[in-house]
């Protein structure tokens, strides 16, 4: 699995597939250290995100959060690519919108949404190329509008103003994932019970379930995208006992780690180099 570092042009960049470069069309599984939004206006094939394959039906938006594993199995890709870091999201609620949108491999655009998105993306591109006074402030504002409008189109979204504890929990999950509610509570400086209540109030889901899902998701990424042993994968997701990890993985997915790896074609991927 390849890990693409932040380009020197960030904290924000926008361009076509051609101007951003060949990696914007990468056909090998990889994960970014930055976020990406693709406004896709042409192309045939599929986009694969975290092992979920979605057929391309442009026009639509693709939102890839930092850390997600994805690749293109497609030809004729056309449209605009936006790249940006966490630091470029300074509006309350933007991070939560980004996470909600990234849970879906593609957000289809009807005629009205397509026209509105085209105009907004063109404005973003024009502002980025012009580099007028206070360009970054304008780009941040336009990016916020894009995220809000994308959420309105129909993608499920979380509360627009989650509590501070739930927001910090979400930030840690995206940037420095931990593997227990107690570990998150300790990092944030609250009790596990308080964290559980705050997250349930903000998202409607228990913190323990979100942690468990993140643990399984990362284990799947490592099993499908690296040559790490099951013991090494277990350690990466916080299990000291590989046997307990195997029981956990089977309970959550219905298959053993070995069976999952065999069924997801771990061929030709690279070690991700984070031992």
What pLDDT, on the 0 to 100 scale, is given for residue 269?
Answer: 42
The CA-based dihedral angle spanning residues 122, 94, 154, 198, taken in that order and rounded to the nearest 10 degrees:
180
Percent of the chain that is helix, strand, coil (3-state, to 5): 50, 20, 30
Topology annotation, domain 2-153: Jelly Rolls (2.60.120)
Sorted by sequence, the CB contacts under 8 Å of residue 113 that are 6+ apart come out as 149, 153
Q: Does domain 164-263 have CATH number 1.10.10.60?
A: yes
pLDDT in tens for each of the 275 residues of the chain? 455 555 556 799 999 999 999 999 999 999 888 999 999 999 999 999 888 888 999 999 999 998 888 999 999 999 999 999 988 998 878 888 888 788 776 888 999 999 999 999 999 999 999 988 899 999 999 999 999 898 887 544 333 334 778 888 888 887 767 888 988 887 777 778 888 888 988 889 999 999 999 999 999 999 999 999 999 999 999 999 999 999 999 999 999 999 999 998 654 344 444 43
The CA-based dihedral angle spanning residues 54, 58, 63, 69, taken in that order and rounded to the nearest 10 degrees:
40
Sorted by sequence, the CB contacts under 8 Å of residue 37 that are 6+ apart come out as 61, 62, 63, 64, 81, 82, 146
The full set of domain ranges for the chain reads 2-153, 164-263
């Amino acid at each position: 699995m390849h890990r693409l570092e932040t380009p020197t042009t960030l904290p924000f960049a926008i361009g076509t597939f051609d101007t951003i470069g060949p990696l914007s069309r990468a056909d090998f599984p990889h994960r970014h250290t930055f976020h990406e939004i693709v406004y896709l206006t042409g192309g045939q094939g599929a986009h694969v995100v975290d092992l979920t394959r979605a057929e391309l039906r442009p026009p639509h938006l693709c939102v890839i959060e930092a850390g997600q594993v994805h690749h293109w199995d497609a030809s004729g890709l056309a449209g605009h690519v936006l790249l940006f870091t966490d630091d470029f999201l300074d509006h309350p609620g933007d991070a939560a919108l980004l996470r909600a949108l990234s849970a879906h491999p593609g957000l289809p655009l009807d005629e009205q949404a397509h026209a509105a998105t085209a105009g907004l993306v063109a404005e973003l591109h024009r502002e980025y190329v012009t580099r007028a006074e206070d360009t970054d402030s304008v780009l941040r504002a336009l990016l916020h509008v894009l995220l809000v409008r994308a959420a309105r189109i129909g993608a499920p979204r979380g509360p627009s103003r989650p509590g501070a504890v739930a927001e910090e929990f979400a930030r840690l999950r995206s940037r420095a994932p931990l593997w227990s509610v107690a570990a998150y509570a300790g990092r944030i400086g609250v009790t596990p019970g308080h964290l559980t209540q705050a997250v349930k109030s903000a998202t409607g889901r228990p913190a323990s379930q979100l942690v468990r899902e993140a643990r399984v998701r990362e284990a799947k990424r490592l099993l499908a995208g690296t040559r790490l042993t099951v013991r090494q994968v277990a350690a990466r997701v916080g299990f000291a006992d590989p046997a307990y990890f195997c029981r956990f993985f089977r309970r959550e997915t219905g298959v053993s780690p070995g069976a999952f790896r065999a069924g997801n074609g771990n061929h030709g991927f690279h070690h991700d180099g984070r031992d």
